[in-house]
Amino acid sequence: MIDRLEKEVDMLERHLQVLRMVIESEPIGIVKMSDETGYPHHKVRYSLRVLEEENLIEPSSQGAITTEDTTEFVDDLDSKIDHTVDKLRGMRLDETPEIES
């Protein structure tokens, strides 16, 4: 159960790293992102597709670029991550009251 969550978090981390590269270096292509991150081309391509489906980037002839939705997403990201972390902390079993026998 937790293994799936860890895989999802790893994938989200990759998507956000790719988005960060687009924001910092737009336009930027798959090869350069792959070389700089060490991720295989197919994983970078998948992250770009996910980000494009979320309307956070769009393709251009020179490479990926941000959209008008990118800034709002980035502005809200930290609070959404904080909320999720708080929720996960609340799920910890070692912080629940002891069960009496």
Q: Give first-to-last CA distance, the chain, whole Å.
A: 27
pLDDT at residue number 99: 59
**Residue 95 clears pLDDT 70, i.e. is over it:** no
Residue boundaries of the structural domains of the chain:
2-94
User: b/e map of 3-34 (b: 16 or more CB within 10 Å)?
Assistant: eeeeeeeeeeebbbebbebbbeeeebbbeebb
Across 20-45, average pLDDT: 96
Which one of 1.10.8.60, 1.10.10.10, 3.30.365.10, 3.40.190.10 gives the CATH number of domain 2-94?
A: 1.10.10.10
Q: Are 21 and 37 in contact (CB under 8 A)?
A: yes
Across 52-72, average pLDDT: 97
**Residue 35 clears pLDDT 70, i.e. is over it:** yes
| pTM recorded for the entire structure | 0.85
**Residue 83 clears pLDDT 80, i.e. is over it:** yes
pLDDT at residue number 93: 84
